[in-house]
Structure 1
Amino acid sequence: MSEQTTFFRRFGKLLCNAIFLPALLGLSQLVDAAAVTRPQQLIDVTRDFLEQSVTDYLQRSQIQGRHEVEVTRLDPRLRLAQCDTPLSTRLESPAQPVGRTTVRVSCEGSSPWSIFVPAQVHLYREVIVASRPLKRDSVLSAADVTLAERDVGLLNQGYLTELDQAVGNKLTRGSQPHQVITPNQISLAEIVRKGDQVVITAKNAAINVRMPGEAMDDGALGEQIRVKNVRSGRTVKARVVGAGHVEVAM
C-alpha cells in the first residue's frame, strides 16, 4: 500500500471522527437530559400546586385578598431520575399555604424519589394600621386608624381587618404611623371609672330593682367590678352593661 493511500485513509477516519463524534456526544447529552427531572420542572409543578392551593384556601375561608407565589431557585446541577408517572405534590408546612411554605414533590413511579421545595406565598389583605402616632392607653377613634394593604403572611402577631374591631377600644401600647395594629394591642376601653355614680340594676324573672351606686373599680363593657350601694353602704360585684350602668345577678 502506498504512503499516499495510507494518508488518505487516516485522513478519512479523522474527518469522520470530527463530524460524527460531536453529533454523537450531543445526542448522548440529549438522552441524558431526557432521562432526568430538571429543576425547572420541580419549580413549575410547585408553583402550579401552590396557585391552586391558595385559590382553594381563599374560597373556602371566604377571604378577600390577592396573592403571589414565589418558588425558591433550585440548584441547576440537581439531577433526579425522570419520573414515568405524573409528579405528586403535597403541602409539607405550614397547615395553610400562606407565608413561608415547603412543598414535597415526589415521584411514585419505577424509580421513586422525593424532594422538598421551599416557597413563599404572599397574601395581601387590607388590615388596620395607625394613621398617626398613638400613645399607650389612648381610646381609638376613626381618625386614629385606617386600612392598608399588607402581606399578612409576614404578620406573625396577627392583624385586624374591620375598623370596628379597633375603634372605641383602648391601645395597650403605643404605635407609629402606618404600623399594623395587632389584636394583642387592643383591649376593651373602660366605660365606667372608679368613683363614677352608676345605676345598679338587680333583676330576675319576677322583679326589677334599680338603686344608686358608686363604682369602686374601672370597668369595660362586660367586666365584673365592685360597686357600693349608696343606700345600704354594702359593696357588691356587678357586671358593666353600659356607660354608668351595672347589673347584679339575682
Structure 2
Amino acid sequence: MKQTTSSFRQLLAKCLTLLPVVLALPILGYSATAAASFTSAEQLIGATETFLEEAVTNYLQRSEIHGRHEIRVNRLDPRLRLALCDVPLTTTLESPAQPLGRVTTRVRCDGSAPWTVFVPAEVRLYRHVAVLTRPLKRLSIVKASDLSMAERDIGQLSQGYLTDPAQVVGKKLTRQLNANQVIAPSHLEAAEVIRRGDQVVINAVGANFSVRMPGEALTDGAPGEQINIRNLRSQRVIRARVVGPGQVEVAM
C-alpha cells in the first residue's frame, strides 16, 4: 500500500510539471497562426522604405541635385489587421508630387483578398547651403570671408537657400542677418557698382557700329539697372544700362 501511494505521488508530481507546457501549446499555436494570416507592420514599413529609397534616388539624379537624404516611416496603428497578401505589394506615391518632405504612400495588395492602406513618412534632404560666419547689418556687401557652406535640411528652409557662394558674394543685404543664419534669395539684392558723380564710359551700340564717350552718373546703379547719365560731350541726359563698374550701355 505504501509503495502504491508513493508511485501515485510521483506520477501526480510529473503531471503537474508538464501542465504549464500542455496549457501553453494551444495559445502558442493560435498566436503563430494569427500572425501568419496578417500582413505585418514591418512588411508595410519595409515596402514603403524600399519604394521611397528608389523614388528619392531617381528624383535626385533627374534633378541633378547633390545631397544626403534620410527616410523615416511613421509608426503604424498596432491594431491594423490586413490579410496576408498572396502577391507582391504595390507601392506608389500618393502625395506630394515629389518625394521630399512629408509624404504619403499608397501600399496596395492586388491579390485574392485585396486591400489598400496609406503609410505616412518623411523624406529629409540635406544639402550644403550658404550661411553667414558673422552678423551683418542691412545694406552690408557680403564678402567671401563672410560665408561658409553648411549642411542643412532644406525641407526646413521655407524662404529658400543658395548652394553657390558666387550667388552671394558681392551682393547687398536687404536686412540684418545673424551668424550661422542661412542666406535666402530674398535677403540679397545687387549692389551698386556705380555711384552718383562717378565718371563712366558710355558705350553706344548700334547694328553696325559702336561708339564710346565719357559720361557722369547722376544716380546710383547696380548691374542691369537703367540709370541717368550725363553725356559730357553733348551735356544731354540719357538713360543707360549699367553693365559693370564704370561702364554703361545705350542701344541705338
TM superposition score category, shorter chain reference: 0.7 to 0.9
User: Which residue in 2 is equivalent to 1:30?
Assistant: 32
TM-score by length of 2: 0.86
* Equivalent residue for 1:125, pick from 124, 127, 134: 127
Quote the offset at 1:231 in angstroms. Answer: 3.2
Note the 1:180-191 alignment, pairs <5 A.
180-191=182-193
Question: Unpaired runs of 5+ in structure 2?
Answer: 1-15
* Equivalent residue for 2:113, pick from 105, 111, 114: 111
User: Which residue in 2 is equivalent to 1:231?
Assistant: 233
State the secondary structure of the residue aligned to 1:36.
coil
Q: Quick one: distance in 1 between partners of 2:248 and 2:70?
A: 50
State the secondary structure of the residue aligned to 1:73.
coil
Quote the offset at 1:238 in angstroms. Answer: 0.9
TM-score by length of 1: 0.86
Q: Quick one: distance in 1 between partners of 2:21 and 2:240?
A: 98
User: Identity rate of aligned residues, in percent?
Assistant: 58
Deviations 1:57-88 (A, max 9, x none): 22222322222111111121211122222111
User: Which residue in 2 is equivalent to 1:78?
Assistant: 80
User: Which residue in 1 is equivalent to 2:11?
Assistant: none
Quote the offset at 1:179 in angstroms. Answer: 0.9
State the secondary structure of the residue aligned to 1:52.
helix
Note the 1:160-239 alignment, pairs <5 A.
160-239=162-241
State the secondary structure of the residue aligned to 2:59.
helix
* Equivalent residue for 1:53, pick from 44, 52, 55: 55
State the secondary structure of the residue aligned to 1:191.
coil
Deviations 1:18-71 (A, max 9, x none): 876653343233222212112221111111111122222222223222221111
Q: Quick one: distance in 2 between partners of 1:179 and 1:90?
A: 37
User: Which residue in 1 is equivalent to 2:8?
Assistant: none
Deviations 1:96-155 (A, max 9, x none): 222222211111222222222111112221110001001111111001111011111221
Deviates more, 1:227-236 or 1:33-42: 227-236
Quote the offset at 1:226 in angstroms. Answer: 2.2
Q: Quick one: distance in 2 between partners of 1:19 and 1:221?
A: 86
* 1:64 lines up with 2:94 in the alignment: no
User: Which residue in 1 is equivalent to 2:155?
Assistant: 153
Q: Quick one: distance in 1 between partners of 2:229 and 2:81?
A: 75
Question: Unpaired runs of 5+ in structure 1?
Answer: 1-14
RMSD value, Cα: 2.3
Quote the offset at 1:216 in angstroms. Answer: 2.7
> What is the count of residue pairs matched by the alignment?
238
Q: Quick one: distance in 2 between partners of 1:108 and 1:100?
A: 26
User: Which residue in 2 is equivalent to 1:10?
Assistant: none
